[in-house]
A and B are shown apart, each in its own frame.
Chain A
Amino acid sequence: MKSTESRRTLPAWAGAALLALLAGGLLAGCQPVAVAADPSSYRGAVLTQPQPKPDFTLTDTSGAPFAFRERTDGYVTLLFFGYTSCPDICPLQMANLSAALRKQPATVQSAVKVVFVTTDPARDTPERLRGWLDAFDHDFIGLTGSPAAIAAVEAAAGVAPSRPVSRPDGSYLVEHAAYVIAYGRDNYARVQYPAGVRQEDWAHDLPKLVEGS
């Protein structure tokens, strides 16, 4: 018995150590390569594979259908999933993006569309969505739909499905992917912007997104 245990224990330790070494080696090996691949390029996270812009239709804040791929065709399209009752990350992302966009030349501004898809359709009525987006930019597009339709859009865009989390007081918060997906004018996404992205990062990348695709 004892020898069996120690035999089991040893490979487990060895496996863990090997994994740690591998992970360390991979990280150490990959990071410089990723940086060296395009050092002067984007500050956002560059995707290993370009992702095609999904084709879906949701409802905009005027209550009209909005065919995403068709209506944003040829524009740099910044897609974000979130909800208006989100106190921290969602307004942070939208505020940084809108502030940076406003400082761009008109040629850049007019080439960019920002699309916010709510992950909380029960509370985010078109009116509420419009009011919230207007605090950042009147041109930001807000989309809603049934929970099933929004889940399908999340899947099509390749983000983790959002999920409501109940609270003891009966209210709920929504966990959701919090990065902005940037589709180029050619309708392929190459870059994502996680929650920590700053205004200066947007200022750096927005012209590149417009020029580079």
Chain B
Amino acid sequence: MSVRPIRTSLVRGAGAVALCALALLGALSSAGRAAAADPPPIGAVEVGALRVRDARILAPAAPDVAAAYFTIENHGDVPDALVGVASAAAATTELHSTVARDGRLAMLPIERLDIAPGAEVTLAPGGYHVMLLGLHQPLQAGDLVTLTLYFERAGPVTLRVPVRPRADG
């Protein structure tokens, strides 16, 4: 977990260097400009051989805690894994699994979530989720939360996760 900030800053650093290089060279790569200018996609995103879809946060009843859910499809020929999550919307962002133990339910942080080639992994209520603890402001249906996912092979990808009414499940 302590590596996450380092990873984040490395990624940001690389982005800043890339931007500077673009500016200095006056490069007019449309791909580069689009990546710099466009806000992250909403609800679904692709990175490498992975597709993340159905991303959502169910409108939380608590002002400071929420959970994000999504499905990851691996269309590649090699395994990949979700190894980190980050969001500026909360003090703590963690990948969790809800598990039963000793007659209780516990939420355990998990270090990685493997996605086999050709397989998909679903984060859903009652199972895997991204826990957002210490939200900086309460969330309501219609809000968008920017979330960055770090994949072992495909690398980082950022998307905006819509907050949906609870009734949607």
Chain A residues close to B by CB (< 8 Å): 84-89, 91-92, 94-95, 99, 128, 131-133, 135-136, 159-160, 162-163, 165, 168-169, 171, 173, 175-178, 195-196
Supposing A175-B105, A177-B103, A196-B126 touch, asked if A89 and B62 sit within 8 A by C-beta, the answer is no
A160 nearest CB neighbor, chain B only: B103
B125, chain A: closest CB distance, angstroms: 4
Residues of B64-123 whose CB lies within 8 A of A:
64-67, 91-92, 96, 98, 101-107
Asked if residues B105 and A89 are in contact (CB atoms below 8 Å), the reply is: yes
B165, chain A: closest CB distance, angstroms: 10
Asked if residues B61 and A91 are in contact (CB atoms below 8 Å), the reply is: yes
Q: What CA separation (Å) do A91 and B107 show in the bound complex?
A: 14
Asked if residues B98 and A195 are in contact (CB atoms below 8 Å), the reply is: yes
B166 within 8 A of A: yes
Q: How many residues of B contact A (CB 8 A)?
A: 31
B76, chain A: closest CB distance, angstroms: 29
Asked if residues A88 and B104 are in contact (CB atoms below 8 Å), the reply is: no
Which of B58, B64, B132 contacts A91, CB < 8 Å?
B58
Asked if residues B133 and A88 are in contact (CB atoms below 8 Å), the reply is: no
Asked if residues A131 and B63 are in contact (CB atoms below 8 Å), the reply is: yes
Which of A88, A92, A160 contacts B107, CB < 8 Å?
A88
- B-chain residues with CB within 8 Å of residue A86 when the two chains form the complex: 65, 107
Asked if residues A85 and B62 are in contact (CB atoms below 8 Å), the reply is: yes
Which of A87, A132, A169, A177 contacts B132, CB < 8 Å?
A87
A86 nearest CB neighbor, chain B only: B65
Q: C-beta contact mask, B10-41 vs A, less than 8 Å → 1, else 0?
A: 00000000000000000000000000000000
**14 A/B residue pairs, CB under 8 Å, sorted by A:** A85-B133, A87-B133, A88-B98, A88-B126, A88-B131, A91-B60, A95-B166, A131-B61, A135-B59, A160-B103, A171-B134, A175-B101, A176-B105, A195-B105
